[in-house]
Structure 1
Amino acid sequence: MMLNIAAIVIGIMILIWSSDQFVEGAASIARKLGVSQLIIGMTIVSIGTSAPEIVVSVMAALDGAGNLAVGNALGSNIANISLVLGITLLVAPLLLRSSYLNREFPLLFGVTVIGAILVVDGELDLFDGLVLLACLALALTKMARDAQQDNLIAEELTADHAAEMSASYPWLRFIGGALLLVASSRALVWGAANIADTLGVSELIIGLTIIAIGTSLPELAASVASAKKGHAEIALGNVLGSNLFNLLAVLPIPGLLAPLVLDTSVLTRDYPVMLALTALLGLALYLTFRQARAQQKPPIMGRVWGVILLLCSVCYYTALIIDTGYGL
């Protein structure tokens, strides 16, 4: 058991670190090859933030643990909204911009609904994976067009990721990061699968909890740090972007590599919870903007929403504990 726990803890630590190195190396190489900073920010860096989830899902699918990969994708989205955003809101309220309500959220919610339609038959197969990848291509195209039309978005993308695009020793970071990503994800999946067998719980539960929360730690750390520096609004953008890529770049992987029959809990518990949390986030955005217009004040999402999201988190993870048979 201790060896399995060590594999998970060390695997997550190396996974997070190597992901950063891989993204910084790839972005720097692309810049030296003449790729525009905007395109780098929209593709390599944006998708790269989901690199841990992507590589873990690949390894899980290849090992025949497809439901662990599904749990990783859905669990990360649930953790991002309920834990990451909830905690960040308690640290500092979020000053919203209109594009969150008018552009980014509708895109995420639409993709979440499409995903629900695809998995409602209880399977995740090649067709489902291809549809989600096609949606990813369309989403990237739309985001690139929006960024070109919105100078603020373009400036933010290039400024936020300037460090990644000018990293030293780019090839060493790129190749070394890629190798460590594979090795650490292999160790993580191995340890997680063994713990699932030892405890007698499903791989889905392990993916929803240990792996999902572990791979969401960078988003939590970055969001809290941004909030403390007075840039809490960055957290919402990170959550919306990360959740979008988890659905379009992580969830398709099991279907593409090893089509599977989904654990029934995905349809009766986990996907509905993710969909409900996404809808709740949309409601929070709408009510915040409506109140701001009525009071003629800036739209600020307050700490009360942080409390609500954290309560949702407590309820969900309590339900998971009860479902495993370890609840009182």
Structure 2
Amino acid sequence: MQEISFLFWIGIFFGGYLIIFLFADIFIDNLKILCIIYGVSPFIIGSMVLGIDPEESIASIIASINGLPYIAVGNVIGNSIIALTLCFSLPALFYEIKFKKVSKFYFVIIFSCLFFILFSFLITSGLLIFGSACLLAYLLYLIRNIRYISKEKEIDFNVENELLEYEEEGEIKEITKKSKLKMVFLILISLIFIIIGGELLIYSTTELIKMTGISESIFGFIIIALTTNVEELTLVLKSIKKHTVEIGLGGMIGKIIWNFTITFGISGIIALNITFDWNLIWNWIILLLIISYFYTISWKKSLTRRDGVFLFIIFIIFLIFNILLPVNVGLLYGFF
């Protein structure tokens, strides 16, 4: 009976991924054309639409409500590490990813919130204080994006070529007059199905974890984080193959900001405080290294195979730390 149940949840897991895989094409294709029609930056749209990560927030908020701040914060940090390593390292091993320079504004928000998260570990009621600061940072991010959404109208070179093709074939007029509502409808429907697919992945993974008895620490830092990044990895791969890298990159930058502000902010206000733990610090240092590396990458405006190898090595180190570190720390305390 247990074997049948295990196979059932395995089927649900792969079914969820299949839904994401199929609807990601519809979502990116229609969003790309709308960006062409309205002259809106694909990066901004990606950050505002794909950057919203409700399942990630729900996982951390529920953990905080249940008195598990370690899982709540661990999920934020672990999810961000996996999003920036696995989701970009695998595509970079097969493609050279070229993109436009990312505005310093986004890195100012990310680095500020990253240090807010660190300070929340170190002082009493730190989660409450710095969680509130992170929510304020999201408000600034939102205002900035809304303000510039109509100003940043540079179109990716490949997209610009497609626009010319549409105009030559007489299709662009037909799209703008007859199909806008249909495209918006398809974008919303595909986004809903992508979210449903993500929820199926998380729910099935949770059930599989219960059956296998995986530890709470690994569950918080690795399992939830891996599961909630499956859809992001798929969307990044799809955006690269369709020559709309800015949509995938914007979505990932938006997701990191969402993690650091909305998810951490709300979870922190609910949890109020967290007990200091070296495992949090080690993972925070790994995340700082990754974000600093991405800041340097943003200047050269490309992600090469060498970058992909480096990010994948960091991902492996992250896994090793979170599987072996709790044991090593326990041995260290025993020695002293």
Does TM, scored on the shorter chain, surpass 0.5? yes
The more displaced of 240-249 and 230-239 is 230-239
Partner of 2:322: 320
Partners of 2:74 and 2:10 lie apart in 1 by 16
2:225 aligns with one of 212, 230, 237: 212
C-alpha distance 47-315 of structure 1, shift in aligned 2 (>3 A): closer
Deviations 1:19-43 (A, max 9, x none): x99xx9xxxxxxxxxxxx99x9589
One-letter amino acid of the structure 2 residue matched with residue 59 of structure 1: I
Determine helix, strand or coil for the equivalent of 1:148: coil
Q: 2:141 corresponds to which residue?
A: 139
1:66 aligned to which of 65, 69, 75: 69
Instruction: Please tell me whether the aligned partners of residues 73 and 250 of structure 1 are also in contact (alpha carbons under 8 angstroms).
Output: yes
Query: Which amino acid letter does the alignment assign opposite residue 49 of structure 2?
Result: V
For residues 191-234 of structure 1, the C-alpha deviation after alignment (integer angstroms, 9 at most, x for no partner) is 65x579x44x3x34312111001100111111122223333454
The match for 2:313 is 311
Contact 2:97 2:302 in 1 (8 A): yes
Is 2:95 aligned against 1:76?
A: no
Mapped to 2, the partners of 1:267 and 1:253 lie a distance apart of: 19
State the match for 2:267 in structure 1: 254
Q: Distance in 2 between matches of 1:323 and 1:122?
A: 25
Identity score, percent:
19
Partner of 2:236: 223
**After superposition, what is the alpha-carbon deviation per residue over 1:168-213, rounded to whole angstroms, capped at 9, x for unaligned?**
997xx97x99999989867766765x579x44x3x34312111001
Secondary structure at the counterpart of residue 151 of structure 1: coil
Compared CA separation, residues 205 and 123, structure 1 to 2 (3 A): farther
Between stretches 58-67 and 135-144, larger displacement belongs to: 58-67
**Secondary structure in structure 2 of the residue aligned to 1:125:** helix
Cα distance in 2, alignment partners of residues 139 and 123 from structure 1: 25
Instruction: Name the aligned partner's letter for residue 265 of structure 2.
Output: P
Where structure 2 has 5 or more consecutive residues not aligned to the other structure, the ranges are 28-39, 160-175, 329-336
What secondary structure sits across from 2:67 in the alignment?
A: coil
1:294 paired residue number:
none
Indicate the SS of the match to 2:110: helix
Number of residue-to-residue matches in the alignment: 285
Counterparts of 1:4-83 in structure 2, within 5 Å, are 10=12, 45-48=49-52, 50-83=53-86
Measured in 2, the distance between the counterparts of 1:177 and 1:284 equals: 29
Q: Tell me if 1:89 matches 2:108.
A: no
Gaps of 5+ in 1: 25-36, 289-298
Residue identity matched to 1:146 = Y
CA–CA distance in 2 between the matches of 1:102 and 1:52? 28
Name the aligned partner's letter for residue 216 of structure 1: N
Partner secondary structure for residue 84 of structure 1: helix
Please name the residue that 1:296 is paired with.
Answer: none
CA distance in 1, matches of 2:114, 2:181: 31
Within 5 A, what are the aligned runs for 1:44-193?
Answer: 45-48=49-52, 50-98=53-101, 100-121=102-123, 124-152=126-154, 165-167=184-186
**AA matched with 1:88:** P
Cα displacement string for residues 64-92 of structure 1 (whole angstroms, at most 9, x for unaligned residues):
32222212111111001111111121121
Q: How does the TM-score come out when normalised to structure 1?
A: 0.69
- Kept after mapping to 1: 8 A contact 2:82/2:229: yes
Q: Partner letter of residue 226 of structure 2?
A: I
Larger radius of gyration: 2
| In 1: Cα distance, 2:326 partner to 2:121 partner | 23
Matched residue, 1:282:
295
Q: 1:71 to 1:152 in 2, by over 3 A?
A: same
SS at match of 1:240: helix
RMSD: 4.2
